[in-house]
A and B are shown apart, each in its own frame.
Chain A
Amino acid sequence: MTHHRQPELDTSPPVSDEIRRTTCYMCACRCGINVHMKDGKVAYIEGNRDHPVNRGVLCAKGSAGIMQHNAPSRLRAPLKRVGPRGSGEFEEITWDEALDIATDWLAPLRETAPEKLAFFTGRDQSQSFTSYWAQNFGTPNYAAHGGFCSVNMAAAGIYTMGGAFWEFGSPDWERTKLFMLFGVAEDHDSNPIKMGLARLKERGARVIGVNPIRSGYNAVADDWVGITPGTDGLFILSLVHELMKAGKIDLDYLARYTNAPVLVNGDAKSPEHGLFLRDDDGKPLVIDRATGKLAAFDKPGVRPDLHATHRAAGITHRPVMHLLAERYLDPKYAPEAVAERCGICADKIRRIAGELARVAFDEAITLDIEWTDFRGELHQTMTGRPVSFHAMRGISAHSNGFQTCRALHLLQILLGSVEVPGGMRFKPPYPKPVSIHPAPHCKATPGQPLDGPHLGYPRGPDDLALLEDGSPARIDKAFTWDNPMSAHGMMHMVISNAHAGDPYRIDTLFMYMANMAWNSSMNTRGTLEMLTDTDENGDYVIPRIIYSDSYSSEMVAYADLILPDTTYLERHDCISLLDRPISEADAAADAIRWPVVEPDRDVRCFQSVLCELGARLKLPGFTDGEGGQKYADYADYITNHERKPGIGPLAGWRMGENGLTHGRGAPNEAQLDAYIKNGGFFSAHIPEAAQYMKPWNMGYQEWAVGIGLFDAPQPYIFELYVEPMRRFQLAAEGHGERQPPDRLREQIKTTLDPLPIWYPALEDGHADPEEYPVHALTQRPMAMYHSWGSQNAWLRQIHGHNPLYLPTKLWTAHGFADGDWARVTSHHGEITVPVAHMAALNENTVWTWNAIGKRKGAWALESDAPEATKGFLLNHLIHELLPERGDGMRWANSDPVTGQAAWFDLRVKIEKVAAPEEAQPVLPAIESPVGTGPDELTWKVGE
């Protein structure tokens, strides 16, 4: 028997030599991190307690950043392709050579036809910079990846209420009492959502999760609504039906802060039918309940009437509120009428409607905060409806996603729960009305910059990106009649359109951080064929491809020139108020990254490379007065660039007339040092009286002007009725100069309805629902969301392969057992994959983790890695076009309003098959430009 004995133990060992505080880039959450350094090396990463986003906590990805930074898949030097495209055969070249090649390719394009450069970025957090570069180059062909991600959510939010969910809005976690989450497995605000759920649980608030799959957040929800994919909009409109029918809507809020009282032209013969009645200044008109007369909606003292109509010249013009009643009280939205399609029993829909009403109205909050609205009225209090919502990709990535997101915003607004205590709140620079967003610009002129920003929010047909002959101006056909409101562009169409030469041929495809040769494309194998296809002369149909990435992704093999980026710990970045900052609902905030370590190899920050390339190409924004390079590197740009006088990429520590200031001010050479000293971020708190009711609160509006978000106050009302959509419908009805092609008239009339509607996913009308009865979805695991995870030695031990999860009904019906495999077939293709049983799943839905499957040879993994042998992509089953249905046309597999890729419309059939050796299809291995990783890791930086 060994007796109890305790060895000497040092319980206070040194932790690190130094802590360097920067911003995480393991996903889109942008948390503050403390990087512990030992002997000049990264030893440990933890959350920064002072940081407004994560307040010290950090997710699995963030803590695994050290394995990303040291991943064997990191590229080492610029590469020039020497084998055929797709082989992965490269030679390393110098940066001078790489930049010479890029300049030789791009300079002639700029001088003759700038649109022949297509520049698209993926997980880019510098879009205000990359778009500025593309605008200077002069090509209309620029966008980031929003079009294949969640543009429906962004566009529906902006058009309806001047702000969206994403990371741009959040529930009032401290006050909300009922939180309803739609279609979220994980989201950009990954740590804030978890922290917020913890606060709700502490306070005993109720959480309802609406998702076909009960994983993650839905697993901890008090109530789960296992909805049938693509029917969220129908469910939401049924809730709207129930609430309206019971009169449980916030009439005061609707009258004051929305366009519910605005009068709509009721003259069916007028070219303005369905547009708003406006005064001579163009302001929408309401009837003032005090006087019974017409008045501009924002006139001081006006009490907009939700009820009264206006009769003139024998025509009755009715307020939007009447149109809402007419539409949503229709029995077709009654719970019984929708229950079966939604997969939710009617009583449950009624109970949820009842609970929403009870909490919003019986548990209302009153804050004694004095504020003045945009009509000049002084309020002594703020009324809160403590019901909040959040939603993301699950409702967005459908062909009915835009209208579904709109329906959810309608529900929020009817309850009076946006921008109020306990409701959903925006984060600066939001709220921001459509009127101060740009419209899209697309006029390319040889040797000149583009005529304005590429992306924006069309107000009507005049803003479409069309050439004089009516053909698309952009290679992705964004902002055309097929998808007029494609506010984020349509990156998922670039390769197929460029390959087809439709609408025109391009010369150089330039991409950044976008794995289009694998998980970021629909129809992956077809995409690879397009990237490698040659014409009758043996030349590539897409002549040149330049790609920048830090890692040996699948896309690397398909480029001709590789510009290797740094890791996120080796670079400068700004997370800017001009772009997608780290603001919270109570504060405007932005942040930086800075090189906490220097690169140990011949790689460069991509944005610094663009500064040099821009100068070589003589782009006006990147050259100084003498024609030399204007910005030495990205840090120089961040510090010294001014978008307009006094407004730069970073708002903190600018130079005022009397010393340092924030918001507006001249560049400050020591700005980045000030950020580093402050932990890598800047935060400006919104005064207490301006923290709610922001779109209408003059206190907020004036604060926002002061800090430089706007040049003048921009109050506005929420758009339950979206007039720009009606303008597209009017065109489809034959009004106006710019006319859609006849093939699209019916689609536009139906889907660009200015009030939210629901229609079945478009794939249901093309692929036979009888033959393909099962919905197939993907989710990103929390430990890998947006994180380039598979080359990460720690994260891949958590999610190294991805079975297809089957619900009990299918599992039993097909007689599956553990270890079985299934053939999964869609209208487009088939895959053979391992299956697993999951009971907490909608009974007609199967799903898998997205982007776990990897191609052999990529990411410095061994060829027998489970990601390549058992892992798989659903992408092989999804095509960018819907199947033919005999009308002579191929319709896009995307939302007809925004062009958002309809990933989640997918329908499949399932068969049990004998296990193959590997998941099918197997693509040939690509040669790795970096070899593979070591056989063992015993990682310890310090002694």
Chain B
Amino acid sequence: MTTLPAQTDRKLGLVIDLDTCVGCHACVVACKGWNTENYGAPLSDQDPYGDDPRGTFLNRVHSYEVQPLATSDMPHPAAQLVHFPKSCLHCEDAPCVTVCPTGASYKRVEDGIVLVNEADCIGCGLCAWACPYGAREMDEAEGVMKKCTLCVDRIYNDNLPEVDRTPACVRTCPAGARHFGDLGDPDSDVSRLVAERGGMDLMPEQGTKPVNQYLPPRMRDEMDQVDVLAPFLDPVAEDAGGFIGWLDKALERI
């Protein structure tokens, strides 16, 4: 068992916009590339050209179909598709840390990032079992637990231009669906975004108090509602002859 810090100075995390995510997997591969080359052991791939390719990814995108229920306004609602990127949520009450028998898993006091000290990790896998989100992945080649570091080797890195001191997934997202910042500061851009858009905890019933927040998709398919505000267009003519008559008058007004 490992203890969590009583509190952290900041709560760095991600805000992920499910309204905007197009499911392109850019974040998945940017993360794979950066973290293969950087923090700790490379993210390995087993059977990469064979029948069961399986590698370590710290961030994956899942897609879910949603079938809204029929209402009197919308008797035949169309199904929707939601793309859902998922990585470690850097929980305040991170069960992956408290379950760790060696202290390898820890939550940083200064920013709340949850990390694995690979030197102390014995690869027992308890943390992956404890995480309700399935956010941790055991690297088969190295035998250590890998997880999102929030690019701790980028966000403070003096060797990077300041503008690039952001997680690789955020820097690369073409759809602007990923935001990074201090969710402990109510005045931060990310906190304001969460407030404006009704950002949500993932599976709050688990009591993990995740730092990362998800912005829900906005209302879809308003045009399918039986009663919408936009009125139909009023005709100026019923046929070509009438139209050409209208045309002459309309041209006079230009």
Report A's interface with B, CB cutoff 8 A. 1-7, 9-15, 36, 38, 43-47, 49, 54, 56-64, 66, 72, 190-191, 194-195, 197-199, 201-202, 208, 214-217, 219-224, 226, 242-248, 251-252, 255, 289, 305-307, 321-322, 325-326, 329, 347-348, 350-355, 357-358, 782-783, 791, 793-798, 800, 808, 838-841, 860-862, 864-866, 869, 932-942
Contact = CB atoms under 8 A, between A and B. Distances in A.
B159 A351 contact: no
Given A791-B49, A793-B45, A940-B36, A197 B233 contact: no
Given A6-B106, A6-B109, A220-B19, A60 B80 contact: no
Contact of B67 (A47, A325, A839, A869): A839
Nearest to B2: A2
B220 A222 contact: yes
B82 A219 contact: yes
A246 B233 contact: yes
B50 A864 contact: yes
A58 B30 contact: yes
Nearest to B24: A782
B32 A866 contact: no
B174 A247 contact: no
B159 to A, nearest CB: 5
B80 A5 contact: no
Contact of A794 (B32, B159, B250): B32
A43 B36 CA distance: 9
A251 B254 contact: yes
B122 to A, nearest CB: 12
Contacts of B3: 1-4
Contacts of B34: 44
Given A223-B220, A797-B45, A354 B231 contact: yes
B216 to A, nearest CB: 13
B119 interface: yes
Contacts of B129: none
A170 to B, nearest CB: 14
B205 interface: no
B172 A13 contact: no
B185 interface: no
B175 A198 contact: yes
B238 to A, nearest CB: 7
B83 A354 contact: no
B38 interface: yes
A307 B221 contact: no
Contacts of B232: 347, 350-351, 354
Contacts of A839: 65, 67, 79
Interface string B166-210: 001001111111000000000000000000000000000000000
Q: Counting chain A CB atoms within 10 Å of each CB, which of B5, B57, B232 scores highest?
A: B232
29 contacts: A2-B103, A7-B106, A11-B153, A46-B171, A54-B174, A58-B30, A59-B172, A60-B26, A198-B176, A201-B20, A219-B81, A245-B243, A329-B240, A347-B232, A794-B32, A794-B33, A794-B45, A797-B45, A839-B65, A862-B49, A864-B50, A869-B51, A932-B50, A936-B141, A937-B45, A937-B48, A938-B41, A938-B44, A938-B141
A12 B160 CA distance: 8
Q: Counting chain A CB atoms within 10 Å of each CB, which of B33, B217, B219 scores highest?
A: B33
B152 A9 contact: yes
Nearest to B51: A864
A727 B250 CA distance: 33
Nearest to A309: B244
B233 to A, nearest CB: 4
B49 to A, nearest CB: 3
For the residues of B in contact with A, the DSSP-based class is: loop
A869 B19 CA distance: 36
Nearest to A321: B247
Nearest to A66: B33
A833 B248 CA distance: 60
Interface size bracket, B side: 35 or more
A47 B23 CA distance: 18
Contact of B25 (A47, A326, A357, A783): A783
Nearest to B169: A63
Given A54-B174, A307-B244, A793-B49, 6 more contacts: A60-B29, A223-B221, A354-B231, A783-B29, A797-B57, A840-B79
A306 B254 CA distance: 12
B25 A307 contact: no
B189 to A, nearest CB: 13
Contact of A56 (B65, B171, B218, B254): B171
Contacts of A306: 247, 251
Interface in B209-242: 217-224, 228, 230-240
The 6 closest A-B pairs by CB, nearest first: A933-B49, A198-B176, A839-B79, A246-B233, A194-B174, A793-B48
A516 B254 CA distance: 56
Given A198-B175, A223-B223, A838 B159 contact: no
Contacts of A939: 36-37, 42, 44-45
Contacts of B176: 195, 198-199, 201-202
Given A4-B5, A44-B37, A791-B49, A197 B22 contact: yes
A59 B240 contact: no
A220 B103 contact: no
Q: Counting chain B CB atoms within 10 Å of each CB, which of A59, A221, A248, A869 scores highest?
A: A59
Contact of A798 (B25, B109, B160): B25
A348 B38 CA distance: 52
A940 B175 contact: no
B49 A865 contact: yes
A793 B55 contact: yes
Contact of A353 (B21, B26, B233): B233
A344 to B, nearest CB: 10
A222 B233 contact: no
Q: Counting chain A CB atoms within 10 Å of each CB, which of B26, B45, B244 scores highest?
A: B26
A361 to B, nearest CB: 11
B48 A933 contact: yes
A795 B29 contact: yes
Contacts of B133: none
A940 B246 CA distance: 72
B244 to A, nearest CB: 6
Given A215-B23, A352-B223, A325 B49 contact: no
A934 B20 CA distance: 38
Contacts of B164: 49
Q: Counting chain B CB atoms within 10 Å of each CB, which of A220, A354, A940 scores highest?
A: A220
A727 B65 CA distance: 50
Contacts of B55: 793-794, 797, 937
A217 B19 CA distance: 11
A325 B246 CA distance: 11
Contact of B2 (A4, A215, A353): A4
A920 to B, nearest CB: 18
Given A2-B100, A195-B176, A840 B251 contact: no
